[in-house]
Amino acid sequence: MVRILVDTSSDLPKEYREKYNIEWVYFPIAFDTESYLDRKDMNVEEFYNKIKETGIIPKTSQVTCEQFEPAIRKLLENEDDQVLVITLSSTLSGTYNEAVRAKENIDSDRVYVLDSNLATIMIGDLAITAAEMAENGASLEEIVKVLEVKKFNREAIFVLDTLEFLRKGGRISFAQSVVGGLLNIKVVLKYTNEGKIISFDKAKGKKQAVKIILEYIRKNRVEGNRLLLAHAVNEEFVTEVKNAIESELGLQVDMIAEIGAVIGTHVGPGTIAISC
């Protein structure tokens, strides 16, 4: 049996991890001198509340080899099992390289480390696909072959509720963030299949943002892909988007996830993501 290991940047909801017996390792989060493990020491709601209470924009560092190695070894305890590790895109983090180091230390041909090329629930989707294939008896080699193609068939757009995190991250100027806030401008970013984040569009208010989302799905829907939504503590808006997709496009939203600390640190609370 192929066992699946991801990191918490995958934002995979608990019910799916439990259903498919998917394990994960935790990203470190730092609020100045205070350190936490994402979703172990602090859940998603607590993470965003702490930002609100302290005004601190936290930092995340890569998951280390020392975290990966014991997690992989545990999954190898059954001699009939193989392990597929799926990490956050190497364009965004050094986590993939750390997982490779762990594999080299273990020195087992029963382990494969996959650079997802993706972020947030798009990684979770790969993990679910892998787990479904494993349940149906697919080998590690067969699963990897499918995922190495599938990971390039996904992109996403992110609708940001605030420009403050982009400003503090050095992506835009203070003046731009003030003007954007006054005009209720919502920046829309695109995560490309090359693992890059680029400017995509901008919306004045939620109504226009929903129109942009619907048009994006109309033009970019990939047959066979799950339709994924994710949000950073913004259930009201993500529900509005879900309802619009299902009523206006006649499509089913397959999964809704919470954007956790790893991506939330950069895009901020209120953000929603769409991948189709």
Q: What tens digit of pLDDT does each residue of 135-180 get?
A: 999 999 999 999 999 999 999 999 998 766 665 544 433 334 334 4
Report the 10 Å Cβ neighbour count for 171: 16
Q: Crossing angle for the helix pair 95-106 and 65-75, nearest 10 degrees?
A: 50
The mean pLDDT of 213-222, rounded to a whole number, is 97
The domain locations on the chain are 2-27+62-153, 156-275
Contact 91, 195 (CB under 8 A): yes
Global pTM?
Answer: 0.92
**pLDDT reported for residue 146:** 98
Average pLDDT score over the chain: 91
Nearest to 65 by CA among 23, 94, 108: 94
| Helices (H), ranges, 112-205 | 121-135, 140-150, 164-168, 174-182
In sequence order, what are the residues at sequence separation of 6 or more whose Cβ sits closer than 8 angstroms to the Cβ of residue 19? none
What CATH topology corresponds to 2-27+62-153? Rossmann fold (3.40.50)
How far CA 13 is from CA of 20, 22, 70, 158, 266, in Å, comes to 11, 11, 23, 19, 20
**pLDDT reported for residue 177:** 36
**pLDDT reported for residue 167:** 54
The mean pLDDT of 2-28, rounded to a whole number, is 97
**pLDDT reported for residue 168:** 55
Instruction: Identify the H or E element spanning 214.
Output: helix 206-220
The mean pLDDT of 4-28, rounded to a whole number, is 97
Q: Indicate the pLDDT class of residue 238, thresholds 50, 70 and 90.
A: very high
d(CA 264, CA 98): 22
Nearest to 86 by CA among 21, 25, 18, 16: 25
Contact 128, 136 (CB under 8 A): no
**pLDDT reported for residue 12:** 97
d(CA 70, CA 247): 47
User: Token match 């984040």: residue?
Assistant: 197
Contact 232, 45 (CB under 8 A): no
Residue 63 has pLDDT above 50, yes or no: yes
**pLDDT reported for residue 182:** 40
Residue 220 has pLDDT above 50, yes or no: yes
d(CA 185, CA 122): 26
Tell me whether the CATH fold assigned to 2-27+62-153 matches the one assigned to 156-275: no
Ordered strands of the 156-159 beta sheet: 197-204, 185-191, 156-159, 272-275, 228-231, 255-258
The mean pLDDT of 106-124, rounded to a whole number, is 97
**pLDDT reported for residue 185:** 77
Contact 229, 256 (CB under 8 A): yes
What CATH topology corresponds to 156-275? Hypothetical Protein Tm841; Chain: A;domain 3 (3.30.1180)
**pLDDT reported for residue 187:** 87
**pLDDT reported for residue 56:** 87
The mean pLDDT of 33-60, rounded to a whole number, is 92
Least confident of 15-29, 73-87, 199-213: 199-213
